Every structure is written in structure tokens, then in C-alpha cells.
Amino acid sequence: MHGARAGALRWCLLGCGWLIVGAAMAAGNTPTLAETLAGSTAAEWRAVDPDQTLYMDLPQGRVVIELAPRFAPLHVANIRALVREKYFDGLAILRAQDNFVVQWGDPDDMRPLGRAQAELDAEFTVPLDTTPFVRLPDRDGYAPQVGFSDGFAAARDPRAKQQWLIHCYGAIGVARGNDPRSGNGSSLYAVIGQAPRQLDRNIAVVGRVLRGMELLSTRPRGSGAMGFYEQPAERLSITAVRFASELPEAERLRLQVLRSDSRSFATLLEARRNRHDEWMRNPPGFLEVCNVPVPGRLAP
Amino acid sequence: MHGARAGALRWCLLGCGWLIVGAAMAAGNTPTLAETLAGSTAAEWRAVDPDQTLYMDLPQGRVVIELAPRFAPLHVANIRALVREKYFDGLAILRAQDNFVVQWGDPDDMRPLGRAQAELDAEFTVPLDTTPFVRLPDRDGYAPQVGFSDGFAAARDPRAKQQWLIHCYGAIGVARGNDPRSGNGSSLYAVIGQAPRQLDRNIAVVGRVLRGMELLSTRPRGSGAMGFYEQPAERLSITAVRFASELPEAERLRLQVLRSDSRSFATLLEARRNRHDEWMRNPPGFLEVCNVPVPGRLAP
């Protein structure tokens, strides 16, 4: 009896509604993510620029990263110089610290940077400009304003006339030492846990993972301090890092991101803030900026 | 030159200071976590009750969970009944959804619950009582008050006279279907990504992972809907789940948690809120409740 009664329900837990397309809307429920995306129009999707897209190929598969040159132009340019010289090929994932970051780079820190700069002006924040920004009405503790810019979680401080990217899950940042100019993009990290917002405005965030996040988030955690791998054999070798634009067009993934200023994204935000369906008993009435999935897809 | 100059610094990134014990304090810097813990007194640590501690043994190692009976007395009692009857032995990890949860239980949903109840009154919140609570001064968007109760991240609503545990990284919750009474503890999940705060007050949270979190967070993500494993072979079998108190004393881990009302924990909170050292350029001046590591250790 127990099995027959509770089985399917208890399993689908955590929101059966998100899976059931159609029935919920008919019942007046909050549209599910699947429903919202199914109802989106082609114009609501932005094609990801192959010239701002990195493919990091690992033995297990490909991690796809979208860079955000508006938020860290010098760092993105430096990463571009490194990638064009195949700097990352054969380097390694050096560190995986649970609930924090996975980091990669040169284990010996000896590989020449070629045309790339060893030091860069800090880009922890950049001046407010005409970057699109869809502001969340929800209050944030770490920044005066938070929202989304072309799919990137971002913050603004109108008084300081600055903006910056937020360290949400999947954000890609530039490792640095104590010197704010010491981050040059030759060592990068991805956030794999609770958003380490204390890093915001202290490190240049240069992009976010669009696909293959699980290849990073499931890396065995290192046993050394801060999750560094203590034995070279524990490191995972990076096969190659390329810009999508370096590959023949037929070999590129035609990725799209749901526009931050689209009606469907607004629907999605409101559904997460105030979801009403059979499962949800106490809709939060609030939305934290890093608790938002920004949908991506292959071009239909 | 590049290697010699930037190497150690760029690697220790993300806060070299947290590793360097001693020097920082001498320089007037914010004490590091290591410094704070090194300076803690024995009285600041609470011994974890073996009768509220679950050992979930997986082929790769042991996950240690501390239960919080004050926040979900009926659910903890039901889990106790299940564990005493060895309900979980030979069951499996069924699901791993990236940036969300890992869930375990009975893949066939056929195993009898024995003396445990199939339905329980919902414990999404419990009445405010004399539970210790150290409130954070930092504003939270999801709850009127947030803080820590015996090491568990918790929220309070004084007007509604309710309290509840928060879905931070490592929190353990009780899977349920649409019926609020359908969660009985026979299927549990652990949060492995950004705190899914929308689940707060919608599911009974019964505890948190004290050790072995990486055994859950690195599980391969399932390719089915919501991260369910599509093939039985992808599931990971649970060797056994026992209360620590069921084991001979010599075989128990003597775990301690830093008391939420201790001076050292207050120091740690303030160091995360306003860290001043050589690395940090823009201390956040704010602390989000799920962005706090609650220290544990083996009894010295």
C-alpha cells in the first residue's frame, strides 16, 4: 500500500509541478519552467557569440564558457591572447574545494605567457555604461542593485557609478595573489557551491559556464589546503581550450541564452518568486539573484 | 620571471590570508579562520550527540549527518524508527541534480516501513520555543530573522511564532509529494548547490552533513529528469545507515561543533562580514546566512 500510494509522488518531490507540462497552467497554477520555455518566441533568445565562447575540452567532455568582455575587457583580451597561443592545452585542473571553487592553470607556473600580459589593471568593477541591465526588485545584501545583463548575474552601484558580475554558481573568475594586478587569466576558477559573494568586487569575474558544469562540479575534492591536489596524478589534464570561432562552423555548438529583458525570463523570475501549484505551500515571495536558472539551449 | 614572480601568489588566490596563521594578526589584520579556531577554548565546542548522529556508509566512505530533532521531532523520530530497522541498508542514491540536490531512498519504493509511519504531520516550521538562537544582524530576503541554532542555519518569524531550518549547502531534507503529509523520511536529500531557499517552509529539514559531504556532492549527475539516474547501474548502493549510538563507543567519531553562541563563532562571522587583510580590497560588509562555514572537528 505504501509503495502504491506514495511512490511516484514522493519521488518527484521538490516540485512535481515543474515536470508536468500543460495541466498546471490549465488549473491556473504558476507556469512551470518547461511551460514558460515552451511558450517562448525565437526573438526572446540571443545567439551566443562564438568569438566570446570558450570550449574547454577535458577527457570526459566539453565545458562551454561564455565570456563577458563588457565586464572585464582587459582580462578577456588577455585570456584571448592566451587561448590563441594554446596556453591552456596540457595544463590541468589543480584544485577542487567543496562548496567553493574548481581552479585550473599551470601546475608548475612556468609556461610562458607569450603575447599575454603578466599583470593587468584590476577589473573588479567597471564603470556603469550602456550595458543592458534588468534589475530585480528584490533587495540584495551585498550590492545596492542586482539583476541580469545578457544572462549574467550582475550588480550595480549607481552612487559609485560601478557595475560588476556576481559570483553565482558557475561563474568564472580570474585567480590572483594579494596584488590586485596579479590576476592575468592564466589561472581561472569556477564557482561550484554557495555563491561566495564576499569575492564580488575583489576579483575579476570574466564569464560563466553555459554547458558541462557537471564536469567541474563533480571533480574529486583535493585533500590539500584549499582543495589543492597533493599528488600530480590527482590533477585532471586539460586537453585543449579554444574559442568556438576557431573551429569550423559545422563543429560549433549553436547555443542560445534566454534574453534577460524577455517576457519569458520575467515570467520565470516571477514563478520562482511566487510559485503557486499543488506542491508549493509557502511561496517565498522573494528571489535571490543567484537562485535563478538562466536558461540556455541549442538553437532549434 | 613570470613563474618566479607570480607563482605562489596567484595560486593561493581567493584569500591567501586564510592560510597564513599568525602573521596576519600581528599585522592588525582580521583573524583568519585557522587563527580563530586555534584560539578557541574547549568550552566553545559542543559534543555532537551520538544519538542524533547518522552514519551513512557508502562504498567510498562515510557521510555523517547530525539530526535536529527540535526542528522536526516527528520526522526525526520516524527516521529513527527506519534506521533501527535497517531500512536504508542496500537502498541507493537515486538522483543527483547539478546545483540542487542528491537524493536517496528505495528505487522500487516497495520496502516495508515497519514501525515507521507512512504519513506524518508536516513540520515545515515548528513553534518558536526555547531553542537557542544566535541572530545575524544581516537582513535576509527570505525570512524575518536568520541565524544559527546549535550550528544549524535557522530562521524565525516572531509574528507567526514559527521557526525553521534553512536549506543551506549540506542541509538534509525529507522528500515529499504534493501532499504535505507524504514526507516520512524514507527518502532524504542533501543540498549540493546554491541554497534553494524557495524550499524553506515547504519541506521538513531534519539535519545537516557534518562530514563526508564530498561523497555526495561529487556524485555523477543523473541524465534523467531532475537528475534521476535512468539506469539502475548508475545508482550508488548504500551499505548501511546507523546511529552513532548503535556502534560500540570505540568505533564512534567524537565530533564537536563550534557553539553558535561562542565568542569564536562571533569572531568568525565578523571576519567573513568585514575582512581586512592584504588580499581583500572590498570587504562586503554583509553576511548571507548560507555563506557561513560552521566549524566542526574531532575532539582533541
* Lookup result for grid cell 557551491: A193
Contact of B224 with chain A, judged by CB distance below 8 Å, is answered with no
Nearest by Cα to B270 from B284, B290, B252, B251: B284
A240-243 and B205-211 as β-strands: parallel, antiparallel, unpaired?
unpaired
Give residue B27's pLDDT: 59
Nearest by Cα to A152 from A289, A53, A52, A253: A289
What is chain A's mean pLDDT, rounded? Answer: 92
| Residue type (1 letter), B100 | F
What is chain B's mean pLDDT, rounded? Answer: 92
And the C-alpha cell for A298? 541549442
Give residue A170's pLDDT: 98
Q: Does residue A19 surpass a pLDDT of 60?
A: no
Residues A36-58, mean pLDDT to the nearest whole number: 98
> What are the C-alpha distances in Å from B41 to residues B25, B46, B157?
18, 11, 33
Give residue B277's pLDDT: 92
Q: Mapping DSSP to helix (H, G, I), strand (E, B) and coil, where does residue A3 land?
A: helix
Give residue B26's pLDDT: 46
And the C-alpha cell for A203? 576579483
| Cα B292 to Cα A198: distance, rounded to the nearest angstrom | 11
pLDDT tens-digit map of A222-256: 999 999 999 999 999 999 999 999 999 999 999 99
* Lookup result for grid cell 566539453: A62
Give residue A27's pLDDT: 59
Nearest by Cα to B35 from B260, B275, B285: B275
Confidence of residue B160 (pLDDT cuts 50, 70, 90): very high
| Cα A256 to Cα A248: distance, rounded to the nearest angstrom | 18
Q: What is the 3-state secondary structure of A35-88?
A: HHHHCCCHHHEEECCHHHEEEEEECCEEEEEEECCCCCHHHHHHHHHHHHCCCC
Confidence of residue A15 (pLDDT cuts 50, 70, 90): very low
* Lookup result for grid cell 519521488: A11
E strand spans, A141-261: 145-149, 152-157, 162-165, 171-174, 188-191, 205-211, 236-237, 240-243, 255-258
HSE-up of residue B286 (Cα within 13 Å, Cβ side): 16
Instruction: Give CA angle at B217 (B212, B219), nearest 5°.
Output: 105
Of A184, A200, A290, which has the smallest distance from its Cβ to B194's Cβ? A290
Q: Does residue A7 surpass a pLDDT of 50?
A: no
Residues A61-81, mean pLDDT to the nearest whole number: 98
What residues of chain A, 185 to 214, have a C-beta less than 8 Å from chain B?
Answer: 186-187, 189, 193-203, 213-214
Which residues from chain A sit within 8 angstroms of residue B146, using beta carbons?
Answer: none
Of A197, A214, A286, which has the smallest distance from its Cβ to B141's Cβ? A286
Give residue B12's pLDDT: 41
| ipTM value for the complex | 0.93
What residues of chain A, 38 to 67, have a C-beta less than 8 Å from chain B?
Answer: none
Evaluate the CA torsion angle B192, B171, B94, B297 in order and state its sign.
Answer: positive
A118/B5 CB distance under 8 A: yes
A78, A178, A292, best to mutate vs chain B, most B CBs in 10 Å: A178
| Cα A141 to Cα A288: distance, rounded to the nearest angstrom | 10
Q: Does residue B21 surpass a pLDDT of 90?
A: no
| Residue type (1 letter), B255 | L
Give residue A16's pLDDT: 40
And the C-alpha cell for B65? 549527518
And the C-alpha cell for A297? 539551449
Query: Does an H or E element contain B149, and which?
Result: strand B145-149
pLDDT tens-digit map of A174-188: 999 999 999 999 999
Locate the chain B residue with the closest alpha carbon to A196. B291
Nearest by Cα to B208 from B174, B236, B242, B173: B173
Q: Does residue A9 surpass a pLDDT of 60?
A: no
Q: Does residue B15 surpass a pLDDT of 60?
A: no
Nearest by Cα to B94 from A12, A88, A220: A12
Of B12, B18, B177, which has the smallest distance from its Cβ to A13's Cβ? B177
Q: Does residue A17 surpass a pLDDT of 80?
A: no
Neighbours of B286 (CB within 10 A): 19
Pairs across A and B, CB distance < 8 A:
245
pLDDT tens-digit map of A152-176: 999 999 999 999 999 999 999 999 9
Residues A14-31, mean pLDDT to the nearest whole number: 52
| Cα B203 to Cα B176: distance, rounded to the nearest angstrom | 7
Chain Cα centroid distance, residue B62:
15
E strand spans, B74-117: 92-96, 101-105
Query: Does an H or E element contain B162, and which?
Result: strand B162-165
Of B2, B5, B284, which has the smallest distance from its Cβ to A200's Cβ? B284
Distant-in-sequence, close-in-space partners of A2: CB < 8 Å, separation ≥ 6? B109, B112, B113, B118
Evaluate the CA torsion angle B123, B127, B132, B133 in order and state its sign.
Answer: positive
Q: Does residue B182 surpass a pLDDT of 90?
A: yes
Q: Does residue A13 surpass a pLDDT of 90?
A: no
Q: Does residue B68 surpass a pLDDT of 50?
A: yes
pLDDT tens-digit map of A114-129: 999 999 999 999 999 8
Backbone angles phi, psi at A149, to 5 degrees: -130, 105
Q: Does residue B6 surpass a pLDDT of 80?
A: no
Give residue B29's pLDDT: 87
Confidence of residue B9 (pLDDT cuts 50, 70, 90): very low
Beta bridge partners of B256: B47, B297
pLDDT tens-digit map of B122-131: 999 999 987 8
Distance, in angstroms, between A104 CA and closest chain B CA?
A: 10
| Cα B131 to Cα A199: distance, rounded to the nearest angstrom | 33
Residues B53-59, mean pLDDT to the nearest whole number: 98
Nearest by Cα to A165 from A200, A133, A129, A211: A200
From A52-61, A85-94, A104-113, A128-137, the region with the lowest mean pLDDT: A128-137
